[in-house]
Chain A
Amino acid sequence: MKSSGVPVFILLIFLIQLSSCVEPFETDFKEYENLLVVQGLITDKEGPYEVRLSRTLSLGPEISFLPENNAFVIIRDDQGNEEILTEEKEGIYKTQADGIKGVVGRTYTLWIKTKDDEEYESSPGQLREVAEVDTLYYEENDYLVYSEFGKKQEKGIQIFLDTRNGNNTTIYYRWEFEEAWEYNLPYQDSIDIPDIKKYCWQTEFSREILIKSTENFSNNKVEKFPVNFLPSWKQKLYGKYAIHVKQYSTNKELFLFWEKLKKVNETNGGLYDVIPASIYGNIYPCEPNQKKALGYFDASEVKEKTLYIRVHEHQIKTSSDLTPCLADTTLEVVELSYSPDLTEMNTVIIQKIVLDEIIEETYYIIGQIRDSFNSYLATFFRYCSDCRINASSRKPDFWELN
């Protein structure tokens, strides 16, 4: 209790600096600027290569992609090779599998003519080499969760990356990753569930701009770059987890573009943050009075690496999104007079008498109890009966075989 009055005041200073209050802010967005957005990459790997063309969206509706159809898209190199891309899905333009191929050292340019006859060209970019990914590794870290009740310490897994000390041309690194984890229905073997409904994988793509420059380092090696953080409260670590990282090199022009985009998009409202502004990449309009285009077209070698984290390898107490499916209240054994095909059937309508009233309820079927003749196990929650509701039963491409 000693000098308990004083710390209050000191805390006060820190409250001002740190525990400020953030609330959602509702507003109407009146303005909308419609611009072409380009996302394109050519690598040294076999094609097809993909260029996505879309338009910026107004801020109200919750849609994410407004495709730009019927554009004329060409990738050219400095050797006189070129290929016209075909629109495979809406807004997604692809080269042929046996078409143009990225070669280290060559320079590539993207040329676009939209259906409104607006022409754009990317600045020419050399397909650069990139060093190998040396190691992908992780550490179990404590992190603090702040809430109005104070802070709480939790554990999580921080994934890092080291590059190999490769050639000296890679100065600007960029990474993308795809992560996947098991999403299996949590029922014991005593319940018969078709595998297709029981074993799934959830996948996610990197949603942050991951870049690093070694410009200011004496060696050309990236060490302990934080790639991704896995908090304990997500499904990710409940089963087996894998992260597949792609490492690219980029040039100074695009590195600055990514850096500015990151600054502007990852603000926390501090007055020391950069004032938001329009950030353009390396796609330029061919006519000076034409509207600008957003996005980029880059050429790079790609190096890949996958890291698996198995449940027994870490000490993180994790939880599963499917845990509620095990709760007693959601499970109910129902006797039925017929024996349906479980791979085909998902629901069954049950009539029950509750307080002298007949209630019809839809049960989502999980599976069959093996040693029972004509009874079934069912649940109210749809996602508890079929993992495909929230995930995919298709194993990710990079997932190891066993």
Chain B
Amino acid sequence: MKIFALILFVAILTFRANCQDDTIIISGNFQNIPLKQFFVEIEKDYPVKFYYEKNQIDTVLVNIQLEKETLITSLSRILKNSYLNFYITKNNQVILYRGVSLRTSFMMRFRDDLKKGLDTIDKKEKSRQALRQQEYRIHNIGVTGITQLQKATISGYLKNFFNGESIIGGNIYVEGAQTGTSSGNDGFYRLTLPPGNYKLIYSCIGMHPTKRLVNLYSNGNLHVEMEYDTLAIQEINVFAYNLSNIEKIHVGMEKLEMKTIQSLPTLLGEPDIIKSLLLLPGVQTVGEGTAGFNVRGGKTDQNLILMDNTPIFYPSHFFGNFSSINPDAVEEATLFKGSIPAKYGGRISSIYEIKTKSGNLEKIKGNGGISPISLKLLMDGPIIKDKASFLLSTRGTYSDWVIDLIKKSSFLYNTKASFFDIQGNFDYKINKENNIKLNYYVSQDLFKLRNDTLYKYLNALASLSWDHSFHEKFSVNTSFNYSSFGYRISSDGNPQTAHNLIHDVSLYNLRTDFTYRSHSLNLIDFGADITFYKVNPGERLPIGEKSVLVPKIIDTERAYEYGFYASDKFNLTPELTIEAGIRLSGQLVMGPGKIYVYTPDAPFKTSLIKDTILYKKNEIIRTYLNPEYRLSVNYRINHESSVKLSCAKTNQYIHILSNTTAISPTDTWKLSDYYLTPQTGTQISIGYFRNFLNSKIETSFETYYKWIKNMKEYKPGADLLLNNHMETEIINGVGKAYGVELSVKKKTGRLNGWLSYTFSRTLLKSDTPFAEEAVNDGEYFPASYDKPHNLALWANLKISRRFRLACNTVYSTGRPITYPVGKYLLNNQTILHYSRYNQYRIPDYFRLDLSLTIEGNLKRKKLVHGTFTFSIYNITGRKNTYSIYFRGQENRVVGYKLSIFGVAIPTVTYNFKF
């Protein structure tokens, strides 16, 4: 037996050494025949010889339909449920044996591959090697001898070697020529160059970069397949970013890598796609645990968060403590804080574009996790192999039953806490020209915090998107999107005043985006979108018969927002790329509606209402139309440095009304209407980008100046809830924001991370002709989120293949607050008098977080791959000030400092993949 094994081992080596090209393809229907008979039949028709021990194969029956399958797949299918293994020698001799005796590592690997249903081993191995050899071969493109050609075009498809999927957004760079392109939606790329010798470098996130040596004679094709990055366990390859920050045209654009988001230490062990933004230069928040973020001096409602083209209104759970988007389902996330592509509009500070993953086309996969607050599970896989796939991700809390369990402690008296989010998609590749994708997303929160008020929040999104390419250069994406957000706050503590407070907003959006790639790296985008908004500003309805509250319902608002755009990205010279675009945006405020007419030349006051004008259904109350421009310029000084410039103007027609420091649970959305004019933002930014050590270290310096008009500010103590004449509470404001952002990133190596420093100011001013209603006497004052100095450091150290340490350090100036400037006694109560807004600051903020991730064992074959993450939030236990407030007590004024996290908060998370 030993000798036999030895012979076989030699045979394997021989086999490895002599991979053959001419594989045997078998077709035929074999139903209920003994294996032996099958062998006889095959031997008859094909040049194969089988060797076996008769008594070992007696019991095996063949029951199979073969259609042009290779010998290896055929055999592996037939022998799948038997104890038999087989070997094929170079002379197509098949040796069968009982498998146990031959557990060599080679064997295992082959069997694994077979089981996974991948292509045949030898083909795969062969073609992998062939693919790698492609890097060293010289590819002759076109026909020789046409000497008079000035330019020639190389075009082709970029494909994933393993599953044949198109690689979208892959970068193609011509070394030495300082030019390049990227692949489009179908993986197609096109490069026009003078004939000559080139080295083309192909790279893409998650893929191993590859190169091709090319002799370009005339127009021709070069299709390129790329392998997955093989460095880490399914991790995204950092090399993919080579050159990208130099090449990318937009200044103020930040691409967040999922790997980074996953490895950031977080408060509750939940990787967070929104909170992670706070580590980027120019992104701030007013306080920990609050919803929303501020980008370059913008308010929280000035960010458009797009999930697969669909705006999401409130991407938060638990009042903003963490975001409701499962990062596992996200392919990539890009924040545009400077120049926003002309394609997008409707918000004046930033666009956060989140693209979700599509399901795997080959096999069903999944991953999940357990963190202190939630359980999550993601599954994806094919519906029709290579054509249609699905992805489903769910997260939910299990805290409610835990609360029930410990309710007796009465600390959690009258407390409820539950939330879930579900998101996913179906992707159907009809053919090469057409692709349809259906996305959906639902998130819900339900909270009751030790009192009688129950908060319920609901977000729902759905979109149907159709990609169509007319030909290689011209494609269109058309999508229909729906998004809604609403809350219901039920207070039933006192039966007499029991009520529900309801607010909801929904939008229906239709958009179509054309992309045309003409000659010489010229990319033209144009399209249009229209959105119908419906906002229920608020209604309060009594609950139960005992409630004596009168229902109060504020009239529903309706509007159409529209945009038409065109933009062109082209290379003026090989070093200079320009993207110029215009966008025409506007809004139609639709009836039915009621407009109050006020006494002219006086502030809006309810006492000054002169008349009311009623508008009928579908009547246009007011039309807004605003031209916008976008310009981005990238000048590449050399392949390691570039200067970029951008300027952009944007308008915003929907606003969050909030006169609290952070977005509060009862804040509402409001459309621009007859009186509430759209907000306008204009920004100029300039950036210098420099890479060092062969792009291992990226540095950037960006500076911006931004003007904001018609920002919504509020009169002191404004009542924004259930108010049907909001214009009496709102003052338009102007804002100016400026800053400098510096960052250093190291994206590769065992130690990677980034360091960013931001200096920024945001100043606001009331813009009103009436001095009496101007805040701070009409002078500029700092916004509540104006934190001039910001330092963030994120570092990730790979200690070994299984251990990873990450650290997160944040420092920022304290936010401004208002101090009292006097006190007085009124009806025996000491009242504090406040005057000018935001003239003081809370103490500076500092936090250090650490996390240690332990990967499961490195065995290739196992049921699940598990990862434990231990993290400590605020490891120094610093009592960071959340707010400072003052109360009058007897004759004294007492200041209080409120801090939320006075201690270090440890969490453990378990994540798994299968």
Contacts and interface: CB of A to CB of B under 8 A. Distances in A.
Given A13-B318, A35-B822, A260 B716 contact: yes
A24 interface: yes
B833 A56 contact: yes
A295 B662 CA distance: 29
A3 B399 CA distance: 12
Given A14-B412, A151-B410, A275-B837, A20 B826 contact: no
Contacts of A219: 548
Interface in A28-46: 29, 31-35, 37, 39
A31 B819 contact: yes
A336 interface: no
Nearest to A63: B891
B575 to A, nearest CB: 48
A165 B661 CA distance: 40
Interface in B275-316: 286-287, 289-290
Contact of A9 (B290, B373, B450, B665): B373
Given A272-B664, A277-B818, A64 B879 contact: no
A104 interface: no
Nearest to A150: B411
Contacts of A269: 882-885, 896, 898
Q: Which of B775, B831, B836, B884 has the most A CB atoms < 10 Å from its CB?
A: B831
A340 B887 CA distance: 48
Given A23-B896, A216-B549, A273 B660 contact: yes
Given A23-B896, A216-B550, A263-B717, A207 B828 contact: yes
A265 interface: yes
Contacts of A295: 824, 826
Interface stretch (B344-352, B400-408, B484-492, B640-648): B400-408
Interface in B457-498: 494, 496
Interface stretch (B124-132, B752-760, B899-907): B899-907
Interface in A276-307: 276-279, 294-296
A264 B834 contact: yes
A279 B898 contact: no
B599 interface: no
B552 interface: yes
B905 A12 contact: yes
B895 A27 contact: yes
Contact of A271 (B660, B819, B896): B660
B494 A224 contact: yes
B662 to A, nearest CB: 4
A274 B900 contact: no
A271 B817 CA distance: 11
B835 interface: yes
A26 interface: yes
A309 interface: no
Contact of A14 (B287, B415, B839, B879): B415
Nearest to B399: A10
B266 interface: no
Nearest to A27: B895
B823 interface: yes
A305 B496 CA distance: 23
Contacts of B820: 29, 59, 276
A18 interface: yes
A196 interface: no
A266 B832 CA distance: 10
Contacts of A27: 819, 884, 895
A271 B286 contact: yes
Contacts of B318: 13, 17
Nearest to B832: A265
Contacts of B372: 6, 9-10, 12-13
Interface string A196-222: 000000000111110000001111010
Given A31-B819, A56-B833, A24 B894 contact: yes
A54 interface: yes
Chain A's interface size range is 35 or more
A22 B403 contact: no
B292 to A, nearest CB: 11
A151 to B, nearest CB: 6
A277 B900 contact: no
Contact of B834 (A14, A24, A277): A277
Contacts of A33: 821-822, 833, 835
A6 B402 contact: yes
A267 B879 contact: no
Contacts of A32: 821-822
Contacts of A209: 827, 829
A25 interface: yes
Contacts, number: 238
A31 B839 contact: yes
Nearest to B411: A151
A59 B716 contact: no
A172 B286 CA distance: 36
A217 B549 contact: yes
Contact of A24 (B319, B406, B896): B896
A393 to B, nearest CB: 22
Contacts of B406: 7, 10
A268 interface: yes
Nearest to A61: B891
A6 B494 CA distance: 34
B859 interface: no
B659 interface: yes
B768 to A, nearest CB: 15
A261 B831 contact: yes
Interface string B605-624: 00000000000000000000
B120 to A, nearest CB: 49
B616 to A, nearest CB: 29
Interface in A51-66: 54-59, 62-65
A134 interface: no
Given A35-B833, A57-B822, A275 B659 contact: yes
Nearest to B542: A218
B659 A37 contact: no
A216 B827 CA distance: 27
B665 A272 contact: yes
A13 B833 contact: no
Interface string A149-173: 0110100000000000000000000
B399 A271 contact: no
A359 B372 CA distance: 66
A273 B887 CA distance: 14
B773 to A, nearest CB: 11
Given A11-B411, A276-B818, A208 B829 contact: yes
Interface in B873-894: 879, 882-888, 890-894
A176 interface: yes
Nearest to B897: A25
A16 interface: yes
Interface string A232-256: 0000000000000000000000001
B614 to A, nearest CB: 24
A11 B406 CA distance: 10
A228 to B, nearest CB: 13
B888 A265 contact: yes
B893 to A, nearest CB: 5
B389 interface: no
Closest A-B pairs by Cβ, 7 of them: A277-B716, A260-B717, A9-B372, A56-B822, A272-B664, A271-B662, A25-B895
16 contacts: A10-B403, A14-B411, A18-B449, A18-B450, A25-B897, A54-B825, A56-B823, A65-B825, A221-B548, A265-B829, A268-B885, A269-B882, A269-B885, A271-B661, A276-B834, A295-B824
Given A24-B896, A273-B885, 13 more contacts: A7-B406, A9-B907, A17-B289, A25-B896, A31-B836, A56-B822, A62-B890, A151-B410, A218-B549, A269-B882, A271-B290, A275-B660, A276-B832
Interface of A: 3, 6-7, 9-14, 16-18, 20-27, 29, 31-35, 37, 39, 54-59, 62-65, 144, 150-151, 153, 176, 205-209, 216-219, 221, 223-224, 256, 259-261, 263-279, 294-296
